[in-house]
Amino acid sequence: MVSKLIQKFESISLQVLMLMMAIVLAATIVDLAWLLWVDLAKPPYFILSVDELLEIFGQFLLVIIGLELLETVLKTYATPHQPHFEVVINVAIIAVARKIIILDIKKEAPLSVIGLAVIVLGLACAYYLMKRGQRETDSVKTVREGR
C-alpha cells in the first residue's frame, strides 16, 4: 500500500518536473532568440562582439543542458530500475564545457581554473571507463549469443 503510494507520488513528481522543465526550456529558447535578434539588429548590423558571442553561446549551451536534463528525466521515468550513467556524465560534460566557454580567464582565480581542469579530467576518465565497460558487456553478450 505504502509502496504503491510512493510510486504514484514519484510518477506525478516526474511528470510535474518534465512539464516545468519544458516550460523553462521554451522560455530560454525565446530568450535566446530575443537576445540574438537584439544583438544582430543594433549597429553595426549583423556583427557580434566577442562578449555578445560568449553570451549567446552560453545561452545556447544552457538550452542544450536543459534538453539533456529533460532527456535524463524521461529516461529515468521510462526505465526506473536501471542506472543512466551515460546521460548524467554527458550532462556534466556539457555543463562544464559551457562554464569553460564563458569563462573569463583574466578574472578567474587560478585555483578555480585548476579545479575545472581536474573536473574535466575526472569526467573524461569516467566517460572512458563507462564506454569501456559497455564494450566489454556488449562483447560478453555477443559471445553468449554465439555470434
Q: How far, in Å, CA of 36 to CA of 128, rounded?
A: 36
Q: Which three cell numbers stand for residue 67?
A: 534538453
Please calculate the CA angle 144-130-98 and round it to the nearest 5 degrees: 150
* pLDDT tens digits along 34-75: 999 998 898 888 888 888 888 898 898 889 888 888 887 777
Q: Which three cell numbers stand for residue 63?
A: 538550452
Q: How far, in Å, CA of 40 to CA of 5, rounded?
A: 52
* pLDDT tens digits along 116-146: 999 999 999 999 998 898 888 777 777 777 6
- Cβ distance 77 to 87 under 8 Å? no
